[in-house]
């Protein structure tokens, strides 16, 4: 049985991975803008749907729109509190 010499392998991860180019405060603002924009679009869509005659709207759809309107304030306050609170 021959005994060989083990070589040490050095890997430079800095050149492989690189430096992160990520700005967390800016990412929070972008995410909050997109979520709040989607909620705004949903409210505008529900407001536009409120002009549909009652003969085309079911009771289930009315309850859904009421639930969405009631849940908007807590959702928006949660988003603003989470993303814009001081770290």
Confidence of residue 20 (pLDDT cuts 50, 70, 90): low
- Structural domain tally of the chain? 1
31 lies in some domain: no
Q: Examine the pLDDT at 82 and tell me if it is beyond 60.
A: yes
Residue 57 lies in a domain: yes
Judge whether 20 lies within some domain. Answer: no
Among 44, 36, 42, which residue's Cα sits nearest to residue 82? 36
Q: What residue numbers bound the domain in which 83 lies?
A: 42-87
Pairwise CA distance, residues 55 & 68, whole Å = 21
pTM metric for this prediction: 0.57
Q: Which residues contact 13 (CB under 8 A, 6 or more apart)?
A: none
- Show the tokens assigned to 77: 């306050």
In a domain, residue 61? The reply is: yes
In a domain, 36, yes or no: no
Which pLDDT belongs to residue 48? 81
The string of pLDDT tens digits covering residues 41-65 is 988 888 887 788 877 778 888 888 8
Residue 81 lies in a domain: yes
């Amino acid at each position: 049985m021959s005994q060989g010499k083990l070589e040490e392998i050095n890997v430079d991860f800095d050149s492989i991975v690189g430096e992160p180019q990520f700005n967390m405060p800016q990412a929070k603002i972008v995410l909050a803008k997109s979520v709040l924009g989607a909620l705004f679009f949903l409210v505008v869509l529900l407001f536009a749907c409120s002009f549909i005659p009652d003969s085309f709207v079911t009771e289930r759809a009315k309850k859904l729109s009421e639930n969405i309107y009631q849940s908007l304030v807590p959702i928006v306050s949660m988003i603003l509190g989470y993303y814009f609170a001081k770290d």
